[in-house]
Amino acid sequence: MTKATQMNEMDKVDVLVATPLRLKSLIEKKRVSLSAVKYLVLDEADKLFEMGFVEQVDAAAAACDGPNVTRALFSATLPETVERLARSVMSAPMRLTVGERNAASETVKQSLVFVGQERGKPLALRQLFSAGVKPPAIVFVQSKDRAKQLARELRGDGLRLGLIHAGMSDAKRQAQVDRFRAGDTWTLVATDLMARGMDFVGVGTVINYDFPGSSHAYVHRIGRSGRAGRPGAAVTLFTEEDAERGDLRAIAHVMKNSGCDVPDWMLATGSSDPRLRRRKRKDGREDNPRREAIDPARAAAAAAKETERKRALKLKDRAARKKRLREEKETAK
């Protein structure tokens, strides 16, 4: 298909759905014209206006240069810093808020479960399932490594388990999503990859195995449940370290704003020691805290195996170097 043909095909499109980077590339290559666009819709606006996407969003907004363009931004959460950036591409904006701002849906029953230390989480999770977690359920962890660890830990528990994370191919992730939607999988272990953009009908329970990185991440995670007015539940496990970092306080305020009963002490948790707070990266986002492996024995065994593998490689390289030196000396004679 020639570029001219592709442009003609684009002229026939009524609705164009695109990612910011791909759309910016098409605009720069003159493969698409947005001069006739009447509505520019930015979904998950809080993510789109993070530092890595601002330039791309600006390019799309500038290309929509028709006389009567309506710009609309949608997000479950919109921090003030992001809102200021959003206003830069809008003229005389009007804000419409459904429910409390930066609060979770009132149809989701939220609760917090104290587990002491990291090693208390597997037992607490199994107790939740034994007590009767309403399926289907999504269990969130903070990284792909921990997702794989937890999936291994639960594999023999008869939960009809699925696993999804950013390290999987698109085809494998889609297969997991399809199985979950079809009801073949009842419990899905996932990273924050699943916290946005996925609309599952009838998710009964969201479990935050690892504490979310922010109150905004919390709202997006538990928003997988209680969709379209349906009842749902969200359970968040927390440790002493989560409380000391101040993470618990942020989530407790969201729960209170959503109409939940929250003890006063939870609203005042957190340490003044800066060493206990999450570290900020150069892009402004916060690092996930280090956590003890979900299966310490298996993690230790894997680490020992990796150490032995590296040691064997070093010995092999050393032997190869000695052999090469001997051969060079013999050749020199």
Q: What is the pLDDT of residue 124?
A: 94
Q: What is the pLDDT of residue 172?
A: 92
Pick from 160, 139, 135: nearest CA to 150: 139
Domains detected in the chain: 14-87 (3.40.50.300), 108-278+285-295 (3.40.50.300)
Q: What is the pLDDT of residue 125?
A: 94
Alpha-carbon distance 85 to 133, whole Å? Answer: 41
- Determine how many CB atoms are found less than 10 A away from the CB of residue 236: 25
318-324-327 Cα angle (round to 5): 145
Q: What is the pLDDT of residue 276?
A: 45
Q: What is the pLDDT of residue 275?
A: 45
* Torsion of the alpha carbons at 183, 189, 190 and 196, rounded to the nearest 10: 40
Pairing of strands 137-140, 187-190: parallel
Residues of the chain where predicted confidence (pLDDT) is lower than 50: 1, 271-276, 278, 280-284
Burial class of residue 150 in the structure, from the number of CB atoms within 10 Å of its CB (0-12 exposed, 13-18 middle, 19+ buried): buried
Q: What is the pLDDT of residue 53?
A: 78
Q: What is the pLDDT of residue 73?
A: 82
